[in-house]
Amino acid sequence: MKNYEKERAENKDKKLLLLGTATSCFEPDYENTDYEIWGVGSSFGKAHEDIKRLDLGFEIHPLNQVVKIAQERHVDYNKFDCPILVQNHMHPLAKQMMKNPKTFPLKEVLDYVEKMGAAKFFTSSFCYMLVYAAMLGFKEIHLYKILLTNDGEYFLERPGVEYWIEWLGMHEGIKFYFPEDAEMCSDTILYGYEDRPNIWKLESRKKFLWECLSKHFYEIENLTSMLSRASAMLEYNHLIKNTKQEVLEKLLQECKETIDSKQGMYRGSRDKYLQFSGALQTLQFSEERSY
């Protein structure tokens, strides 16, 4: 196992921010150089243009799966000038997609876990990120946009993340900080004693707003694809001197206007969801809460 004493000494007074891709009322200060920012592979996708900076990326899924996911989600792993940890940086697909891939030190991480006496409980990328950060000596970790609240994430991924937050907090002395609307280790709800009327109606409303948000996003994706096809048709029509060019130009203009309209609807849906989701979590926000 590599000796990480140098890294641990360098990082013990540093702050680390782990960044997910969920919808949150609170955004990190990307210009704050007091902490490093680590993100998962989907952070490099086109759907997350609001993410302005990453200092280290994690894409530790099998690389043959990563290619397909990258195509589906319009992921550009060179979006940020940072290293990306993968299963094997020598794999041809890693070299093809990324300028600076590096192999995630799985064996060393597992050895570190065994030495601590903890369970090898890794249910998501965030679990690896937390333990890797502990191994490198970080003592203050902030978690933004990591909610893990949909069914699959809640049942499969969230238990591992909360396990490591508790273990590393108790045994490694790491302090964790969350934005007030974070679901992770939430202390804003006392089961059975919620002082919020019609809570299930509010949750239903939140779900409806999220569905609207998702619908408008995918409509924009589909319309953008239509616009590309229409542009190609117009270019081809120009080359063959077809007399129906004015029809295609009208179609192209209609596509552009429709996309502009849908983008406005998407932004409106996003703002409504953010506001309502935040109000649903708590009536009084503070900047951060700690664990």
Q: Which two tokens stand for residue 260?
A: 């502009």
Give the containing element (helix H, strand E) for 9. Answer: helix 5-11
Kindly report the pTM of this predicted structure: 0.68
Give the per-residue pLDDT at 185: 74
Q: How much is the pLDDT for 289?
A: 45
The answer to whether 47 and 74 have CB atoms below 8 angstroms apart is: yes
pLDDT tens per residue across all 291 residues of the chain: 678 899 999 999 999 999 998 877 788 999 999 999 999 999 998 888 889 999 999 999 999 888 888 888 889 999 999 999 999 999 999 999 999 999 999 999 999 999 999 999 999 999 999 999 999 999 999 999 888 766 667 678 889 999 999 999 999 999 999 887 677 776 555 666 655 545 555 565 566 666 666 666 666 666 666 666 666 666 666 555 554 666 666 766 776 777 676 666 666 666 665 655 555 554 444 444 444
Task: Please provide the size of the chain in residues.
Answer: 291
C-alpha–C-alpha distance, residues 195 and 106, integer Å: 45
pLDDT at 284: 42
Q: In what order do the strands lie in the sheet with 140-144?
A: 101-103, 84-86, 56-58, 35-40, 15-19, 140-144, 175-178, 289-290
Does residue 273 contact residue 208 with C-beta atoms inside 8 Å?
no
* pLDDT the model gives residue 243: 47
Facing residues of 84 across strands?
57, 101
Burial class of 111 by CB neighbour count within 10 A (0 to 12, 13 to 18, 19+) = middle
- Please report which helix (H) or strand (E) contains residue 207, including its range: helix 199-240
Whole-number Å distance between alpha carbons of 154 and 184 = 10
Within 13 Å of residue 176, how many CA atoms lie on the same side as its CB?
A: 25
What is the structure's pLDDT at 265? 66
The residue type at 181: D
The Cα 265–Cα 258 span in angstroms is 11
d(CA 236, CA 232): 6
CB burial string 253-285: b at 16+ within 10 A, e below: eebeeebeebbeebeebbeebbebbbeebeeee
